Structure 1
């Protein structure tokens, strides 16, 4: 080194993934600020939150394997009446069937606070399924760690809130105090031989490089020391995450996942995204997390969860299929069985227009759409919903259905195929339409029920001397 060369240069190495030379990334250390950084420029509170851009783009980095995890029995129970033990076990059985032989629904988390919670966890573990693995979510205490170990669980979630909103304003700590406290709790968990899943609450309002990355680096050191996996769950607690390229962190989902994987060195398979739907972005953000390096996406059935809910599990099943080109063994017909179980046994009313599971998700009322369906259902159906969900595309009969809508309803309801199908210009369809028109001319404002239409069909068929046979 020459006398005037005093700067220590970082080494240049070959990146084996893109085969380009790169300089080793800067090691990020804790920025132990004296006052909380609440990103008031992005979250003014008295105004709508802002989405600024700096056009810093990070690369797609989708892992070879991605999967779904479930929080129906944890976050899902925080926003509704608790499930009974029997209901939990039944739903768990459905999740096992839905996930298929390759365990696409990798894990499901349970509370352990009450005897009912523990009984449910025990009964699900007794099923002996490899997937979904039964995991827990507990308070950060030695007593709870021992409880997890006694039950026989290998993994538990631990709350490690990471924004200054939580660290300063809720916990009344500094960043260093919070980090040291969290690390001591994680160490206690590892001492019990339990794999911790660290829930980084409120990550979309956290200082990513001043706190999150330094904290994750310390967690990776503990993982190396104990030889036990430490998972990172990035929790978009308030739904502030966005998927837009070039958006500023901490709102940028790509930026968060990139930082955790690339700069904190957390392997893909140990990163999990947990999203909320406050700004209608839960599904998009979860998919984005997959695309940028996160293997696990945490979900709940039908999106039931705190406030506006979590990422719907059923949505990510179809996101996976669209990204990968296959279902990897998942049985999507179970989704319909689950929806029916919720309405029949639990008394939960699914909003009728909910994608994939709502009563009307593939039902059309427009006559012009019905005409297209009658000619070829691909024109107005998202995919073969009868094959994947046991839900044939339907036409509701109303004042806007027209002849085509009625014909399509008859063919679907009576499962008429080929030459047995009813044409829209048939006498049967014309007579039913006359009845429908009279109903609405008389002031009716509701859609016809199946029972009403069947009664009319029976009367007209008897008058015409015909029978509808599939």
Structure 2
């Protein structure tokens, strides 16, 4: 079939048909994945075009994949985080969906409590095993969409399921039909796609799903799961590891529309964020994330990171409220007793804290020199300075102005006698063998003793 692409003003051939390759032996891509070596990234230099969709969004798996690596959330904790996700996503629903388990009574109570809030976004969706019986759980909870695990690499098909590709595909299609028969939108989780035979299994399976979608007139979503974090964003990289190749291939050859393509990545090779952004760039509307990146092994794509990626890509937050990111981080640390590594971007205690005296001197003149953006405005996280042996007069002065909330002519300069008095006290700490940084509480006590007139100005 030939169609005219109005965006590109060219004719396109769309009559692609790929048949299942029902091989006798599994294709484990041993050239790429020799288990006793670090996996290899190979290139064939074939470039595919960027095709960022008109609309892109974020979905959340905090209460599903994110819950597989920590103690289960309570109903109260889930409802609090869900409410914060709603506020973070804003009125346009940029955090479009939120995924839940359905099996325990706690899971179901949490879903009901979130449903009672009446929010349009994030839409509550489910996840079940690929069994017909579990669809009744979905129906009973009144959910319109549910995820189904459809493992697609030969590692899983041959070695875990002990099936052939045809047997696996036939079984998956039967489950998808069961969902469609009940009026449920299936979201097919293509597990381990970055080790799967793309044109021998993934595309033929996707084409069968498209036929079912046309038959039932119910959307079928594909979630590409980079289960082991093998995906790479590099132009010209070969399948099955190429994220551009996967997204372009399913969009162009599989004829799946962007709004039904989702990327779910893991961070085993530090590529969760860039791979998710690459999926957007090459035609996926949706990227699946978890709060703080909490998830199995090295974790999922951090949701807060993709909020910032969205703003960088689109030049707008589209109504998202990033100050809620700080609320979420504080809730995890104070209420959930979860320790966020201090240097974690956007949420760690030290992500916008400087220690070097020369940096503090620059910040005192213009904080834009050493701050990534106006963190006080965008994240409700003012720039901070940590006092240590390298802080110098500039660091002390900046710390004083920050803690005393002094502005304009009231600011203390690095040449002020108070800065020198406190610096002398700091220097003595390190001369006596101290190696750790000096806490806020210690400095306040020093202020009370050495500069009481400044301590009197401390905010209540």
Whether these two folds match at TM > 0.5 is yes
Q: How do 1:93-112 and structure 2 match up within 5 A?
A: 93-112=83-102
Q: Note if contact 1:201-1:235 (Cα within 8 Å) is conserved in structure 2.
A: yes
Return the alpha-carbon distance in structure 2 between the equivalents of residues 183 and 436 of structure 1: 69
Q: Tell me which of 353, 360, 365 is aligned to 1:370.
A: 360
Quote how far apart the aligned CAs of 1:130 are: 0.3
Any idea what SS the aligned residue of 2:224 has? strand
- The match for 2:331 among 331, 341, 357 is 341
Work out the CA distance in 2 between the residues paired with 1:36 and 1:71.
Answer: 31
How many aligned residue pairs are there?
459
Deviations 1:267-313 (A, max 9, x none): 10000000000000000000000000000000000000000000000
For residues 36-47 of structure 1, the aligned pairs below 5 Å read 36-47=26-37
The partner residue of 1:81 within 68, 71, 83 is: 71
How far apart are the structure 2 equivalents of 1:232 and 1:155?
12
- CA shift, 1:225, in A, is 0.8
Secondary structure of the equivalent of 2:159? coil
- Between the aligned partners of 1:16 and 1:184, the Cα distance in structure 2 is 37
**What is the alpha-carbon distance in structure 2 between the residues aligned to residue 161 and residue 67 of structure 1?**
24
Q: Deviations over 1:6-34 (max 9, x none)?
A: xxxxx665433312244445311111111
Indicate how the Cα distance of structure 1 residues 313 and 13 shifts in structure 2: closer, same or farther if over 3 A, else same.
closer
Cα pair 1:420 1:469 within 8 Å, conserved: no
Q: Tell me the alpha carbon deviations over residues 191-222 of structure 1, each in whole angstroms, 9 at most, x when there is no partner.
A: 11100000000000001111100100100111
Counterparts of 1:116 and 1:241, CA distance in 2 = 34
Q: Which residue of 2 aligns with 1:64?
A: 54
What residue ranges of structure 2 are gaps of 5+ in the alignment? none
Is this contact kept in 2: 1:416–1:469, CA < 8 A? no
Q: Counterpart in 2 of 1:274?
A: 264
Does structure 1 retain, via aligned residues, the 8 Å contact 2:185–2:219?
yes
Equivalent residue runs for 1:9-408 within 5 Å: 14-408=4-398
By how many angstroms is 1:89 displaced? 0.7
With over 3 angstroms needed to count, the CA separation of the structure-2 counterparts of 1:132 and 1:22, relative to structure 1, is: closer
- SS at the partner of 1:82? coil
> Normalising by structure 2, what TM-score?
0.98
Structure 1 Cα separation of the partners of residues 169 and 407 of structure 2: 66
**Structure 1 gap segments, 5+ residues each:** 1-10
Residues 333-387 of structure 1 deviation map (CA, whole Å, 9 limit, x = unaligned): 0000011111111110101000000000000101111111010000000000000
Please give the alpha-carbon distance, in whole angstroms, between the structure 1 residues aligned to 2:139 and 2:216.
16
User: What is the root-mean-square deviation in Å for CA atoms of aligned residues?
Assistant: 1.3
Instruction: Please report the TM-score for the alignment, with normalisation by the length of structure 1.
Output: 0.96
Report the secondary structure of 1:320's partner residue: helix
User: Is residue 237–residue 276 contact of structure 1 (8 Å, CA) maintained in 2?
Assistant: yes
Q: Give the conservation status (yes or no) of the 8 Å contact 1:302–1:313.
A: yes
